[in-house]
Amino acid sequence: MSEKKKNTVTSKDIARECGVSQATVSYVINNKAGKRISEEKRQEILEAARRLNYFPNASARSIRQQSCTSVGLLPGNNYTNAGFGDTLRGIKKHLDSIGYTLTLLSDDHDPENTEILRYYYSNIICGVIYIAFDNQTIDVKTLEDNSIPYVVISENGVSCRGMEEKKAFERVIFDCVRFCRDHQLKTIRYFTRAINGRFPHNKYDLLMKAIQEIYPECDFKRLTCVTTTDGPDSEVTEPIRRYLESNTFDIALTPNQRFGLLMQRCLLQNDFSIPQKIKHICLASSPALQNAYPRISSLYIPLFDMGFYAAKLLISLVNEHPIKEQEFECRLVHGDTTRFS
Amino acid sequence: MSEKKKNTVTSKDIARECGVSQATVSYVINNKAGKRISEEKRQEILEAARRLNYFPNASARSIRQQSCTSVGLLPGNNYTNAGFGDTLRGIKKHLDSIGYTLTLLSDDHDPENTEILRYYYSNIICGVIYIAFDNQTIDVKTLEDNSIPYVVISENGVSCRGMEEKKAFERVIFDCVRFCRDHQLKTIRYFTRAINGRFPHNKYDLLMKAIQEIYPECDFKRLTCVTTTDGPDSEVTEPIRRYLESNTFDIALTPNQRFGLLMQRCLLQNDFSIPQKIKHICLASSPALQNAYPRISSLYIPLFDMGFYAAKLLISLVNEHPIKEQEFECRLVHGDTTRFS
DNA sequence: CTGAAAGCGCTTACAG
DNA sequence: CTGAAAGCGCTTACAG
């Protein structure tokens, strides 16, 4: 199963090589203060370590220190449509700076979170970072029952247990509705999907809230495509197409990259003109939306910063030295699909 | 820095609870053969382990067994445009099945591979999986010098040290050129970029090879956009636009998602018609290309299978029980941009 | 059939 | 100023 690694050099080897004890090697390698080892020995030890490629065995250190220096990451299914890379870079940047490691967990359906429990209690990870864009629901009950530290990154910002829900996304949704109001876009259609009869996110609720507060006189409707997991595009495009045959409206709102692109397909097939007669904002963040033609108006989300802070927050929870909360701001980025002339 | 974990239950606790020795607990937990422990005791131990949430400490086990059960992953910058999620799922599927863990490494510029060396010699990882789509160059010299097992996943398939270069991508490029030939697409333009004067991939070479072999009479040219890292879209679109003003041709080829989408923008702005007068194949795999309108003809790459096999191959290298080579097939997927009527 | 003991590589309190 | 020794949690060869 798991084989021996060849030529492992240990602190004992360095100690023998330099004629000192293992303790001294440990002190030097870890730059332990207050040990006053002769500068000459110190250099000799560092030199030997470099020459022999000595790195302290992480498991041995972890076992001895009763510590755990890896963080679990649950990426959701956000690889493609949410600047996943930026988020990851933010997370890694902080973890690297404190010598922590990032362990990838599975997103496969696992309602009991058995994988997380196993990783946590085996001391492989000390906590979990969830990426939950597209207002994916995540089930943190098991984590809370087991007091496993976790943080959640979403469009709303970064939050953890006991923290007030963040609202960056809610604010930008308000901006979108305000945009509609200010430009007399009166009939608004939100296209979303129900998968196995359930709605996979709550963007609709936020929209409703924003509309009731600042644009109650508009004509707003949600249109639902009934989809199956990994179903074909036509599950989405057919209902939209049929709706467009006998209806028109001022602006379409879509919840994610896939919907945004497919909606554009239907709109353009129906009536190709720029500026589009029917406007469109995709309530998601993704480079593809900005690269498409016409450029699809969508959102900017500060993913790198959110990743960085999420890592920091999680470690602070693990160490029980809480850091202060941080707010993030999303932004409506106008492409071609909200242009008027 | 790293805090104690509370309430850690160890095999000693289980042993005390059940009135047996640690050895017996270990035998039962690991289902050690040939130990003939009374069924009653075995059940009692398993029950206690479950009740107390006992999981063997992974570090202790690793140190004792001189083993390392995590694999490093270098994702390249393939989060957005290459079905990264599928590849990852394939990798995880195999690793999960053998109890290995996946550790995420950084893609930040690190020419000496110091991070990999440190992770490897600290016994955090036993090998490395590279994801190198878009024919990204990777530098494996340090790994080879240090005999660190690694495998590389690219459009061509999965390969490792000493393995003949795979050619799945080369074959599909031939298919593309054959398509051009069979449909009398005579003037072919390949649009790519040079970043800081260097070409980031070798798709051009493969194209040249295919053209020389099966379609030498065509009129083929590479057009280069000079770009900077993270430069604006106009670095790409402006040269293309200018070229389109005074030139026409039969088919455009583009190397990746971003180029594919930006090329479409230029083509459509120039002359919106379906079928397009100028055809287009994007030599990449990405859901966004298939969701865009018009659907962009592009490639299918069996990413899940490739990830799965890559994990299997890497572990086989680590354990020095090589498994046999496996070929993969890519496929040209026709969207709207290669339609004729 | 089961347990006492050694030992993996490391760090650290303690002795000198 | 430096080293011998204990001990982290586990597995396994060996003794009974």
Average pLDDT on B199-214 reads 87
Report pLDDT for B84. Answer: 81
Q: Which nucleotides of D are covered by protein (CB under 7 A)?
A: 1-13
Q: Enumerate the residues of chain A whose CB falls inside 8 A of the CB of residue B124.
A: 58, 101
Under a CB-based contact definition with an 8 Å cutoff, are residues B181 and B170 in contact? no
**CA/C1' separation A48–C13 (Å):** 27
pLDDT in tens, B32-87: 877 778 888 889 999 999 999 899 999 999 999 989 999 999 988 777 666 788 89
pLDDT for res B5: 47
Q: How far is B212 from chain A (nearest CA, A)?
A: 33
Residue B256 has pLDDT above 60, yes or no: yes
Structure-token pair, residue A264: 């554009």
| Closest CB from B60, B85, B293 relative to A264 | B293
> Are B56 and A84 an interchain contact pair (Cβ–Cβ within 8 Å)?
no
CB–CB of B67 and A2 under 8 A? Answer: yes
Please state, for a pLDDT cut of 90, what percent of chain B lies above it: 58
Integer angstrom CA distances of residue B164 from A299, B156, B157: 45, 11, 11
Residue identified by tokens 């002769």 is: A38
Q: pLDDT value at position B200? A: 65
Looking at every residue in chain B, the average pLDDT score rounds to: 89
Percent of chain A with pLDDT over 90: 59
Q: Is the pLDDT of residue A2 over 60?
A: no
Interface test with A, best of B6, B102, B123 (most A CBs within 10 A): B123
Window B:168-227, CB contacts with A under 8 Å: none
Does residue B155 have a pLDDT over 80?
yes
Res A295: pLDDT: 93
pLDDT higher at A55 or A232: A55
What pLDDT shows up at residue A238?
A: 92
B-interface mutation test, from A4, A14, A61, A101, most B Cβ less than 10 A away: A101
What integer pLDDT is reported at residue A241 of this predicted model?
Answer: 93
- pLDDT for residue A262 is more than 90: yes
- Of residues B7 and A41, more confidence is placed in A41
**pTM of full prediction above 0.85:** yes
With CB atoms and an 8 Å threshold, state whether A269 touches B58.
Answer: no
Between these two residues, B3 and B281, which has the higher pLDDT value? B281
User: Which segment of B106-110, B205-209, B238-242, B264-268 scores lowest on mean pLDDT?
Assistant: B106-110
Q: What is the pLDDT of residues B106-128, one digit of tens each?
A: 877 677 788 899 999 999 999 99
Q: How confident is the model at residue B202 (pLDDT cuts 50, 70, 90)?
A: confident
A67-CA/C14-C1' distance, Å: 23
Helix%, strand%, coil% for chain A, nearest 5: 40, 15, 45
Provide, in whole angstroms, the distance separating residue A78's CA from nucleotide D4's C1': 54
B287 touches chain A (CB under 8 A): yes
Q: Under a CB-based contact definition with an 8 Å cutoff, are residues B296 and B280 in contact?
A: yes
Q: Are strands B150-154 and B157-160 parallel, antiparallel or unpaired?
A: antiparallel
CA neighbor of A308 nearest in space, from A96, A84, A87? A87
Average confidence (pLDDT) over B288-294 = 88
Average pLDDT over chain A, rounded to whole?
Answer: 89
pLDDT higher than 60, residue A243: yes
B123/A65 CB distance under 8 A: no
- Token pair of A52, please? 């022999």
pLDDT mean over A200-216: 89
User: Which nucleotide minimizes the distance between its C1' and the CA of A24?
Assistant: D2
Does residue B63 belong to the interface with chain A, where contact is any CB pair within 8 Å? yes
B238 has a pLDDT exceeding 50:
yes
pLDDT in tens, A274-301: 899 999 999 988 888 988 989 999 999 9
Q: Which residue has the tokens 């069979």?
A: B182
User: What pLDDT does residue B81 have?
Assistant: 63
Give the number of beta-carbon pairs within 8 Å between A and B: 204
Listed by range, residues with Cβ under 7 angstroms from strand D are A 19-24, 35-38, 41, 60, 63-64, 66; B 8, 10-12, 22-23, 25-27, 29-30, 32, 54-57, 60-61, 63-65
Q: Please list, residue by residue across B289-309, b when 16 or more beta carbons sit within 10 angstroms of its beta carbon and e when fewer do.
A: bbbbbbbbbbbebbbbbbbbb
Predicted confidence (pLDDT) at residue A108 exceeds the cutoff of 90: no
Q: How confident is the model at residue A104 (pLDDT cuts 50, 70, 90)?
A: very high
Residue B254 and residue B283: Cα distance in Å, rounded?
Answer: 6
